[in-house]
């Protein structure tokens, strides 16, 4: 009786986790901006060394929702801002692209009903450096506010980002995915053929049983 109960509990846990992971993958692939709203958390692959050695390139960070009343100096937060690219428009101006950034929350205050967030990277935060400077889509200096806030970093998983990035490249590239599946299929067929050949050879060398 007890064994069956544990088996049912195990099945419930397994299918619950599987359902959450399936929903997470679906949202990340097709509606990435909705992940944290639906599930309450979102994963990011770190591509910048600005938070090293605390958070390293290719780490995965799991970000959870953060309400205004729960803001605390020293939290590691993720937010949207515009970063300069290497591209220029027809007038020769640098094009800025919306991205997520993860830095320390170094200060925050209310101004005209809006909460302003002041951030610092690892070196600035631990060595008394100046606040970060952020820009809008036009390249003008602007403030980061709670409207730009995604959430706070709950925990990190070292180096897994390499695998995750590769997996997303594969899934989002039909040709790449097709080539990988084709090669996997060929390997499986070869293994089955070799196994069958060995079984045939063993049968040939085995005396008939009467």
In the chain, where are the structural domains located? 1-30, 41-159, 160-191
Q: Which CATH architecture has domain 41-159?
A: Ribbon (2.10)
Percent of the chain with pLDDT over 70: 73
pLDDT digits (tens, 9 = 90+) for 38-57: 778 888 889 899 999 999 98
Residues contacting residue 11 through CB under 8 Å, at least 6 positions apart: none
Alpha-carbon distances, residue 210 vs 22, 149, 206, 207 (angstroms): 55, 79, 12, 9
Bridge partner list, 46: none
Instruction: Classify residue 93 by burial, with Cβ atoms within 10 Å: 0-12, 13-18, 19+.
Output: exposed
Residues contacting residue 170 through CB under 8 Å, at least 6 positions apart: 176, 177, 180
Higher pLDDT, 20 or 145: 145
Asked whether the whole model's pTM tops 0.85, one would answer no
Do residues 174 and 100 touch, judged by C-beta distance below 8 A? no
pLDDT digits (tens, 9 = 90+) for 186-203: 666 777 767 666 666 555
């Amino acid at each position: 009786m007890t064994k069956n109960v544990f088996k049912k509990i195990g099945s419930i846990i397994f299918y619950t986790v599987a359902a959450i992971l399936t929903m997470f993958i679906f949202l990340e692939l097709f509606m990435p901006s909705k992940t944290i709203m639906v599930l309450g958390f979102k994963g990011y692959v770190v591509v910048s060394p600005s938070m090293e050695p605390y958070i390293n390139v290719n780490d995965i960070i799991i970000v959870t929702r953060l309400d205004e009343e729960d803001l605390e100096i020293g939290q590691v937060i993720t937010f949207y801002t515009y970063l300069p690219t290497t591209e220029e428009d027809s007038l020769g101006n640098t094009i800025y692209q919306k991205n997520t950034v993860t830095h320390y929350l170094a200060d925050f205050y209310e101004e005209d009903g809006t909460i302003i967030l002041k951030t610092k990277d690892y070196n600035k935060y631990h060595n008394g450096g100046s606040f970060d400077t952020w820009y809008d889509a036009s390249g003008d200096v602007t403030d980061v506010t709670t409207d730009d806030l995604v959430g706070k970093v709950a925990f990190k998983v070292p180096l897994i980002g390499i695998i995750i990035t590769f997996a997303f490249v594969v899934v989002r590239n039909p040709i790449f995915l097709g080539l990988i599946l084709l090669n996997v299929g060929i390997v499986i067929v070869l293994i089955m053929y070799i196994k069958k050949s060995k079984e045939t050879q063993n049968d040939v060398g085995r005396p008939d049983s009467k």
